[in-house]
Amino acid sequence: MAYSAKVMDHFSNPRNVGEMKDPSGVGEVGNPKCGDIMRMYIKVEHNIITDISFMTFGCGAAIATSSMATEMIKGKSIDEALKLTNKAVMEALDGLPPVKVHCSVLAEQAIKSAVADYYRRQGIDPTPIVGDIPECEACHV
């Protein structure tokens, strides 16, 4: 299984890694059965994600997709962040092997989960805005 240079760079030198103090929202997705668990932290000010960090337990692709996803939405509005797709994350990393595509799905879901938590903390039902966040299909094996 070959990884791109960008995947290797984000795995070896992850950006925005670590637990955040006083986050505006926290999202956790994944399943210990599949071996990948992602936790995303966001800080939101005036509808802008001013800071983001992650803690990921998983393979190199899971770490790389978490890192790239945080880079792609830092400084963006919540609406822009919710438009980030796993396909965009994979393209930014110059692709992933087919068996690792679920890692990019988890990165997308982790961001949505963090935004949903942010809305819940504001007393707003996140479902009409964020939508349903399905479980990882790869985690059902």
Q: Is 139 a catalytic residue?
A: no
Strands 25-31 and 48-57: unpaired
Residues 55/37, Cβ–Cβ less than 8 Å: no
Instruction: Give the count of beta carbons closer than 10 Å to the beta carbon of residue 140.
Output: 9
Hey, what amino acid is at 107?
A
C-alpha to C-alpha distance for 99 and 67, rounded to whole angstroms? 19
Out of 59, 103, 136, 139, the active site residue is: 103
Say whether 34 is catalytic.
yes
Q: Is 139 exposed, middle or buried (0-12, 13-18, 19+ CB in 10 A)?
A: middle
Of 51, 56, 70, give the one whose Cα is nearest residue 108: 70
Cβ atoms of 113 and 66 within 8 Å: the answer is no
- Give catalytic residue positions: 34, 103
